[in-house]
């Protein structure tokens, strides 16, 4: 047993500490597949973990990082063999199970998804949990019955990771995308992703009316709170909003009016414990429905030693698009 580089989070007298250090392989948790991690990414939840701004870490010591892509090194699981390319998101990694900001990860084989043909491990993490969550949201809207003919789709937090991928995928599928952002300076970036309109998030910031003017057939919301309440009040009859984030808060200051007077549906999107078959579908759809050129345009790369600083930036709303983390 040797050691490997990892971002380790420990309990401190006040909160937690995070540092890039050597981690003992003997301390890895139980699992039937060991993966040589090649790439990870930076998500909002990762920012909370490495900065200690919220108590998302529930086991110490913890290796941060909620998703990775890499190559199977050892396996006693029947589905996986040495050399297989895999991706893993969620399942408590970085919270209750040692995570992805490390040169090695040991997980349950049932958590892994085979990397689709045509997607590299770097591209998989350029998509990451944010992009996979965006695709789960699109799948939910489709299951509800929405199509490009239904009407516009609003995307909140559009310049962030979830919003960027959602905007790119929806526009490629033919939807009229309305991108909502607090950074109107990013309007050209968002239109480059395919957004037909860009609106200031201030339009969704005030107290929500029970019912407001109908503006969109559906939406993908990563913000929550008052923003989500306003989205619901402005959704057309029979429409739906896929809720997948809570950057502005966990509260929902809304009323039942959109649900019982307009038949609007609120679709909950969970990426962490999502069943494996839905995960496979999402990743396969991403392989076909996400423009790789646009993916490259919204992605920039950092090293493992830059993650902690970048974690503070993502919480401050300063990160545009996707960050991939090269490991080691």
Kindly state the tokens that stand for 252. 């929902």
- Residue 234's φ and ψ, nearest 5 degrees, are -105, 5
pLDDT, averaged in runs of 10, over the chain (328 residues) = 94 93 95 98 94 93 97 98 97 97 98 96 96 97 98 96 95 98 95 97 96 98 97 98 94 98 98 95 96 92 96 91 94
Per residue in 249-261, pLDDT (tens digit) is: 999 999 999 999 9
Q: Are 288 and 62 in contact (CB under 8 A)?
A: no
Cα gap 320→153, rounded to integer Å? 21
Q: Alpha carbon 200 to chain centroid distance?
A: 22
pLDDT of amino acid 97 = 97
3-state secondary structure 166-200: HHHHHHHCCCCEEEEECCHHHHHHHHHHCCCEEEE
CA distance 174 to 170: 6
| CB neighbour class for 174 (10 Å; exposed up to 12, middle 13-18, buried from 19) | exposed
Cβ atoms 147, 63 nearer than 8 A: no
pLDDT at 125: 97
Distance CA 27, CA 61 (A): 9
pLDDT at residue number 282: 97
Q: Is there a contact between 161 and 322 (Cβ–Cβ < 8 Å)?
A: yes
Candidates 163, 156, 94, 175; CA nearest to 130 is 163
């Amino acid at each position: 047993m040797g050691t490997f580089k990892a971002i380790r989070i420990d309990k401190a007298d006040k909160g937690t500490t995070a540092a890039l250090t050597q981690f003992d392989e003997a301390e890895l948790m139980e699992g039937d597949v060991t993966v040589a991690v090649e790439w990870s990414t930076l998500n909002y939840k990762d920012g909370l973990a490495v900065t200690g701004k919220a108590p998302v870490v529930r086991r110490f010591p913890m290796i941060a990082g909620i998703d990775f892509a890499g190559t199977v090194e050892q396996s006693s699981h029947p589905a996986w063999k040495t050399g297989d390319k895999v991706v893993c998101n969620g399942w408590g990694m970085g919270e209750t199970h040692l995570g992805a900001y490390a040169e090695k990860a040991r997980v349950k084989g049932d958590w892994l998804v085979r990397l689709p043909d045509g997607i590299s491990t770097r591209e998989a993490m350029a998509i990451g949990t944010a992009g996979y969550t965006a695709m789960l949201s699109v799948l939910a809207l489709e299951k509800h019955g929405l199509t490009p003919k239904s009407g516009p789709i609003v995307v909140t937090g559009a310049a962030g990771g979830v919003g960027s991928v959602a905007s790119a995928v929806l526009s490629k599928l033919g939807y009229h995308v309305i991108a909502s952002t607090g950074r109107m300076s990013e309007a050209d970036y968002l239109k480059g992703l395919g957004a037909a309109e860009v609106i200031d998030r201030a339009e969704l910031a005030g107290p929500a009316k029970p019912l407001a003017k109908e503006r969109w057939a559906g939406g993908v919301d990563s913000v929550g709170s008052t923003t989500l309440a306003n989205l619901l009040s402005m959704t057309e009859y029979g429409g739906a909003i896929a809720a997948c984030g809570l950057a502005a808060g966990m509260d929902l200051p809304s009323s039942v009016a959109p649900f019982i007077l307009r038949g609007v549906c609120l679709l909950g999107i969970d990426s962490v414990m999502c069943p494996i078959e839905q995960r496979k579908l999402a990743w396969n759809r991403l392989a076909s429905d996400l423009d790789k050129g646009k993916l490259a345009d919204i992605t920039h790369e950092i090293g493992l030693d830059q993650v902690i600083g970048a974690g503070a930036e993502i919480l401050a709303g300063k990160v545009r698009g996707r960050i991939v983390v090269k490991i080691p």
